[in-house]
Structure 1
Amino acid sequence: MIYNLAQGQQVFTSNAFLVTGERTVVVDPGNDFDVVSAIREHVDAVDAVVLTHTHPDHVGNLAAVKEAFGVEAWGFDTSQEGVDHAIADGDTILLGDDEYLALHTPGHKDDHLCLYAADPGVLFAGDLVFANGSFGRTDLEEGHRPTLVESIDSLKGAVSEDLREMHTGHGPSITTNPYHDIDLASKAARMG
């Protein structure tokens, strides 16, 4: 199961996903809310934290989760505070009951990853793409629009058109033809 722990929170936070199963993982612990209590509403233990990227709204709660559950964090760049283990482009990582392919997708931030499981058709898109063709901002440090466009195109080529679920860093998860939203983002990011 995949739960958005930040749903309904009215604070400066990203979505924070709990993926339960063989390896229970928090994908992006979020910021500015009691994520530890939210996790404990579903499970007693967590095996790891996996980060799409290290912007403050995605990792503000990281230390609290690591301390409460005695876990380590995985992300693209171990030089970032709190990242204990590196996930390289093309690595696979177990989230819940499924193997996810890590796709390095910079442009919003240099250490950005998307995580894609082909068998169940699930994508964690971080802040690369969102519902209705929206895409990650590039006006922050490390943001770069041409690189973002390349990353969206790379993601579009890596995932199946039969993608079933796309869980994004902000806003609603997309469960109706999410590939279409990636395609729209690819077009929209080229404009302006």
Structure 2
Amino acid sequence: MAFFKNFEKAVNPLLQLLSQANPFTLFPIFIVFLGIGELSKITIIYWVTQWPILLNTITGISNVDPVLVKMAKSAGLGKVEIFTKVLIPASLPTVFTGIRMGAVFAFFMLIGAEMLGSTAGLGHMIMQAQMVMQIPKMWAGIVTVALLGYIVNYGLLYLEKKSFNMETRC
């Protein structure tokens, strides 16, 4: 979208509005239309994940130094080559930030979805432990969620660093 400025200007307000919709308020709507089960959880997780990835990708491509694009044009590169050889590589740090944010949001939304509409999982276990005052079990679930979120985030950081190391070797 950032490659097509007029399209971005037309669609950006709608995307910004949709990205601000609180997923926990939307979850009952997803349950009504998709039922209690995996499909509604997967859909709400997708909803939460798509926005940081999409918006960071748009921002990353929009913020590529125009001098790089001018140099690529003067070197005779076409639009597709400029996109694949200039815009995508230059925007990768911002895209990876969106992917990391999306993954963390997805993980925490999964836990939230399990708390609200599930009969299994860490979120369900935490809620059940809270209801029957099993405080150690509840804290075990909370610490497990925090550790898993940490592992997901740093696993993606590791992949990001590996990707940039491979990119600089080429």
So what's the TM-score if we normalise by structure 1? 0.26
The answer to which structure, 1 or 2, has the higher relative contact order (CA under 8 A, 6+ apart) is 2
Relative to total residues, which structure has the larger strand share, 1 or 2? 1
So what's the TM-score if we normalise by structure 2? 0.29
